[in-house]
Homo-oligomer: A and B are copies of this chain.
Amino acid sequence: MAQQVDDARRPPLSRDRVLRAAVALADDAGIDSLSMRKLAQELDVVPMALYKHVANKEQLLDGMVDVIAGEIDPPAHDIEWKSAVRQRILSARRVLLRHPWASRVIESRTSPTPAVLDYMNSIVGMFRTGGFSVDLTHHAMHALGSRIWGFSQELFPASPSPDPEMQAAMLHQLAARYPYIAEIAAAVAHDEESVVGSGCDDQFEFEFALELLLDGFERLRQHGWTSTNQSCA
């Protein structure tokens, strides 16, 4: 009966409302806090009510990825393939930076949803109209992998550097066992003194690898590369 009062003043539940609430919850509280029960609570609804609009949690996550994919800028026309691909992927990256949980969820999907296919189809199209063979396009897409979505697997993200003293001490200890890693860590630490603000580096690394791959694709295209002259067994 109190339920009826609530019903009156809240919009009826719909798949779209469920998905948007899920995205908002993941944005605010993190993906680990996204449970069917908490989402239901957020929507002022009994948990089982969600199952009317979403078959199970997996399908909820599928839907969330679809929402995210819809936020990527539409493809640009009348520019050469490399700019078009780069622009689109960097747009995807901006979307993912707004939704930090999305990369992990995308990774865990097992089958693509419509908006995902739309996005991938448009990128494949850019290669094809740019003069790439079906074959080379196929391998290029695989080589890009998750980079298509604007993220690369950042393994063991840079430790949040504590005070400089601590940092120097750790570096010294590191150098004893892992001299080569320490060498890089030292160079990075030095760079950070001159460059203000973080987050810039990740972007640089992303674009570095992206450009390396795009340049590689272009070179193969120019040389008329095909996979048929490669052995496979």
- The number of residues on chain A lying at the interface, defined by a beta carbon within 8 Å of a beta carbon of chain B, is 62
Known contacts: A148-B155, A149-B155. The answer to whether A232 contacts B204 by CB under 8 A is yes
Interface of A, secondary structure class, is helix
| In contact, A106 and B155 (Cβ under 8 angstroms) | yes
- Encode contact with B along A53-83: 1 for CB under 8 Å, 0 otherwise: 0000000000000000000000000000000
| In contact, B143 and A212 (Cβ under 8 angstroms) | yes
Number of copies: 2
Does A100 belong to the interface (CB within 8 Å)? no
Known contacts: A142-B209, A178-B118. The answer to whether A183 contacts B134 by CB under 8 A is yes
- Identify the 10 closest CB pairs spanning chains A and B, nearest first: A146-B153, A143-B209, A124-B180, A142-B205, A121-B178, A212-B216, A145-B153, A125-B180, A112-B156, A145-B152
Chain A positions within 8 Å of B, measured between CB atoms, are 106-107, 109-112, 114, 116-118, 120-122, 124-125, 128, 134-135, 137-139, 141-143, 145-146, 148-149, 152-157, 159, 177-181, 183-184, 187-188, 195, 197, 200-201, 204-205, 208-209, 212-213, 215-217, 220, 227, 230, 232-233
